[in-house]
Amino acid sequence: MMGKRADSLEGYESPLEWELVESIGEGTYGEVYKVRNIHSGEMAAAKVIDSVHEKVDEILPEIEVLKKHSSHPNIAGFYGAFIKKDPRKQDQLWLVMEV
């Protein structure tokens, strides 16, 4: 089900500069992975959320909090939110944060 807020995911780019390294756990909405920036080698964590359009109303507030407060010392640094489109599966949302 795609609500009105699903358009809010328009404009998020694909996570081309990040590659999955290994699974490190599970979160509320999906798997958490260690990822590597293919240009800098920097390591980060990515929460990979499947079927993102079904969960958009719950996820958008989290993205806004991460964007607004990621410079706070008690919140992980936020590198960005990315949509990985796959014509064979449902789209994924990657939330990439410092480890």
pTM, two decimal places: 0.83
**35: which residues sit within 8 A by CB, 6+ positions away?**
15, 18, 19, 20, 21, 43, 44, 45, 46, 94, 96
* Torsion angle (degrees, nearest 10) of CA 63, 66, 67, 70: -170
pLDDT at 15: 87
Helix (H, G, I), strand (E, B) or coil at 85: coil
For the segment 48-67, what is each residue's pLDDT rounded down to a tens digit?
A: 998 787 888 888 888 899 99
Whether residue 94 contacts residue 60, with contact meaning beta carbons closer than 8 Å, is answered with no
pLDDT 10s digit of each residue in the chain, 99 long?
A: 344 444 566 778 888 999 999 999 997 788 999 999 999 999 999 999 987 878 888 888 888 999 999 999 998 999 999 988 877 878 889 999 998
Domain at 4-97: CATH architecture:
2-Layer Sandwich (3.30)
